[in-house]
Amino acid sequence: MFGLETKAQEWHRDLTTLCAFFLSSAVFRRCGLAILKRSLHIALAVLLIFSYSTTAQQQTQDVPSAKTIIAHRGASAYAPENTLPAFRLAFEMGADFIEYDVQVTKDKQLVILHDQTLERTTNVEEIFPARSRIAAGDKSEKKHWYVYDFTLAEIKKLDAGSWAGAKFRGTSVPTFRETLDFARGRAGHLIELKVPDEYNARGVDMERLTLAELKRYYRATPKSQKGSPIIIQSFSARSLQKIAAELKSPLPLHLLTTADDKPGWLTREGLAKVKSFCVGISPHRESVIRNPDIITWAHELGLQVTPYTFTTIKSQEPQLLRAEMLRFLYTLKADGVITDNPDLAVEARTKSVSVFIAPSPSSR
């Protein structure tokens, strides 16, 4: 920046001298105003170029650090959550990461599904009407179709798209492997392990299964993730501690926290504990609204902060959601946002950067 300023000053001085030379010399007397006007136009153009370059350099240095846009279950405001169409749309909208949930089937295959049960997002009731059951201890006595009661082959028979619209009819529940392949080189992966403690209690080592699949696809170390970095997150601190300490995975980990944060992770003391096994936190946005200092405290410890979930699905107007994400990213200083609407988040990021790099009125 300072080099450009000095250079512009030198050019200004030299061009001023040149103009004086023209006015006082025989050249001006012989050639008259035509040459002088042309010379002055050139001089003015050069000065403007240097002036704009100096201003742009200064403003570019003030641009905020890059913010990460994470598509929650894909672009789930517009396509069925946790499906390849939702992931494809997220890529097209410019998301940096796709966030998705991992569950385990009866035959210990990893599939992408948010709920432990299948009925909300598939037609399992139609295909397997007699396979529901009431979970032990469930006081509601409501019947459910649990993921871990079905094999992968059976789950692949289900329609996971029609509930979101006729154009998605026939969309299947993707496997973890299919998702890794589909996103390779197109976006990063924010992988949430769903209820790993419950799976462990059933004798299913969800953490080992996940890492084994990542190793199979050469994604178990940070150096092997060009174009598709991996982050694992979970609400289970025990599960993340197991991955870091017992399984000694070098992959970055984020701790998810609920809106009420009953365990107290979002205090200064709690965050210091999180730092011992994670590189970041994904707090509920309401937690940050109540106490914006959470982001400051986390950053003081070197923890990244990616709040969730920003969405229009619950009737929030697009312009209000865009403004809210802009506030979280650039006023509260979150490192990224997890959103059902990656297009609006990308617009918010682009709008912010354009404000910082646009030439000021005085430089136009």
What is the chain's mean pLDDT, rounded?
A: 84
Domain residue ranges of the chain, discontinuous segments joined by +: 2-62, 68-118+152-157+170-357
Which one is predicted more confidently, 57 or 319? 319
Predicted model pTM: 0.79
The pLDDT-based confidence of 120 (bands split at 50, 70, 90) is very high
Contact, 95 vs 169, CB < 8 A? no
pLDDT value at residue 16:
44
Q: How confident is the model at residue 337 (pLDDT cuts 50, 70, 90)?
A: very high
**Residue 248: pLDDT above 70?**
yes
pLDDT confidence band for 292 (50 / 70 / 90)? very high
* Residue 332 three-state SS: coil
Over 279-310, what HEC string results? CEEEEEHHHHHHCCHHHHHHHHCCCEECCECE
pLDDT band at 153 (very low <50, low <70, confident <90, very high): very high
- What average pLDDT does this structure show over 100-118? 98
Pairing mode, strands 97-104 and 110-112: antiparallel
Helix (H) or strand (E) holding 135: none
* 3-class secondary structure, 353: helix
CATH code reported for the domain at 68-118+152-157+170-357 = 3.20.20.190
d(CA 133, CA 146): 8
Q: How confident is the model at residue 51 (pLDDT cuts 50, 70, 90)?
A: very low
Catalytic residue among 12, 72, 189, 254, which? 72
Report which of residues 222 and 90 the model is more confident about: 90
pLDDT at residue number 313: 82
Q: What is the pLDDT of residue 17?
A: 44
Mean pLDDT to the nearest integer, 294-316: 93
Measured between alpha carbons, how far is 77 from 84 in angstroms, rounded to an integer?
Answer: 14
pLDDT score recorded for residue 140: 81
What pLDDT is attached to residue 4? 34
Using an 8 Å Cβ cutoff, are 196 and 206 in contact? yes
Q: Among 1-10, 44-53, 171-180, name the most confident range.
A: 171-180
- Does residue 226 register a pLDDT over 90? no
The predicted pLDDT at position 32 comes to 52
Q: What percent of the chain has pLDDT over 90?
A: 70
Q: What pLDDT, on the 0 to 100 scale, is given for residue 87? A: 98
Whether 114 is catalytic is: yes
Say which residue the tokens 């025990």 belong to: 238
- pLDDT-wise least confident of 23-32, 225-234, 323-332: 23-32
Residues whose CB falls within 8 Å of the CB of residue 94, separated by 6 or more in sequence, listed in order = 69, 342, 343, 346
Candidates 41, 114, 254, 299; catalytic one: 114
Dihedral-angle region of residue 51 (phi above 0 means left; psi in -120 to 50 means alpha; beta otherwise): alpha
Predicted local confidence at residue 358, as pLDDT? 43
Residues 181-214 have pLDDT tens digits of 999 889 999 999 999 999 999 999 999 999 999 9
pLDDT, one tens digit per residue, over 257-282 is 999 999 999 999 999 999 999 999 99
219 against 289, higher pLDDT: 289
Give the pLDDT confidence score for residue 19 in this predicted structure: 47
Contact in structure between 194 and 256 (CB atoms under 8 Å):
no
Quickly count: other Cβ atoms within 10 Å of residue 364's Cβ: 9
Which is more confidently placed, 222 or 296?
296
Confidence band, pLDDT 50/70/90 cuts, at residue 315: low
Check: CB of residue 54 under 8 Å from CB of residue 4.
yes
Q: Long-range contacts: 7-11, Cβ < 8 Å, 24+?
A: 7/50, 8/47, 8/50, 8/51, 8/54, 11/46, 11/47, 11/50
Higher pLDDT pick, 224 / 191: 191
- Say whether pLDDT at 14 is over 80: no
Tell me whether residue 284 is one of the annotated catalytic residues. Answer: no
